[in-house]
Structure 1
């Protein structure tokens, strides 16, 4: 433990390595809650998903999974707006509040306001004794089961939260979770053990990450990891939105990272890689295709599209850690950041 603590990025590396078993535990745990969760989702008129930082990226995944598997309108929403500006009643709405610590002031205020406006609440957290979990109650709290996470950048807590949110979306079809529990952890372990499943960011001054569909959450989370650890500008986009005009922002010394989860996303990623390269940017692609027009292609196994984020985020985590160390930074403790974010409360 002393060696880990004294080595820059040691905690982040150790926590990344835990992810396969943490995801397995999270999938097993949420599957056991299916009898409670399925009726909540089935009876919802709409689902609003709350999160900040990596939990917001997980929320993007949750909304896609809920729309796809539960057939319910689902979207992410601003916790600050819900907490301090929301006026319409939320009867029939299921609010899913995601927070690793369960103590974020903004998320707690939003969850409390949602209950006041008549919403049902599910808390998804790594801290089942937290204030957020107390608002939802034990039956409607889903535990990440990620264990204590010391490095500030979320790694195991992010992928464990994805497992919980997939379980919520598929609560009515638990056989899909059984398959994920049986296969995903091993695929993750194999990718983590592959020394080539990473990329370098030498000379990069700014980065864009892009993904479509289930891969959009990876683009968002990858951008967060890279911003936190490298402290340089990193943007995230839906790939189609990037192609709409923002592609013109890349230039020499920029890097574009694309992630694809399905054939449509793959076609968009190819277009983005070609367009970015023509403007002088370095390009990295992550996906299951055998080849890519990107300058660096990291191939992941061919899996269902909703499994892709569990795998595709791993090379980005590794690249963020390695690039930070190469730049003389300690990715475990980025200056100016802490594990729990508390913002000032809004207007009374």
Structure 2
């Protein structure tokens, strides 16, 4: 028996790349020189994941500015003062605000994927930002000569192209990062905003056939930045029923950091469709303590009491460094947690056999 296990995405950047990013920001390093540091970090990341026995690799988002904003760098008509996302520890992240149309991606995830594939012949997964997150760029006041409806049509076309490009380039799986899903219930407890965000995503996902949707997935978490979250206090029971309406074949669900994982598993079991796989989080990137393989095994076995094994997978709760400047988790700790996930998932599969 094999239980699939996949990373979520980001890995902390090595110190050399962090220094290069700082030098580039200060004008002391040009784009070409920075790219060399990024490619070296990608090669190292993928080699180390392979050494740990990861069946599916990622590039660790070593060359992304963040999981959220990679399509936006260089886009005209952006005001930096958009929606503010507050985290529990008091720090914030701020989205830009769109001021003009048309909306077009300036970078595509398939380019990151192809750069990663040059370093391996193993399956490579690619994370993309969910169109629902980028829908938040449009301001409350209408943009002159560019309606919200026009923006959403452009956004759907761009998001489809981003996903399709990864599938065509041979991605093992394409994961839509949907961290704003849980946050939306904090902003609008009625669930209306969540339904709107799911509708934005399903407009794009509905353009793919059944075979493609089997390679598509959605990741949900309460945020994970600088060892803090933005919506851990939102009840999963309010999110998951609507989340499972998304037209994908895979769900990556943060679980290890939950105060009551068994309750969450019961909710998942209640709303699980027969044609999907749920990858449950078995390592917590925010907790500095490295899980043992045996702890991971026990978490997988607990999940298997609620989710059919042929619909079960494992993952990390979140990315370890979703923004390039996040140095809260040491790189070595991230790899140690990933090793525990891989080994512990294998132990659970052996026990279930």
TM-score > 0.5, shorter chain as reference: no
Per the normalisation by structure 2, the TM-score is: 0.28
Higher helix share: 1
Per the normalisation by structure 1, the TM-score is: 0.29
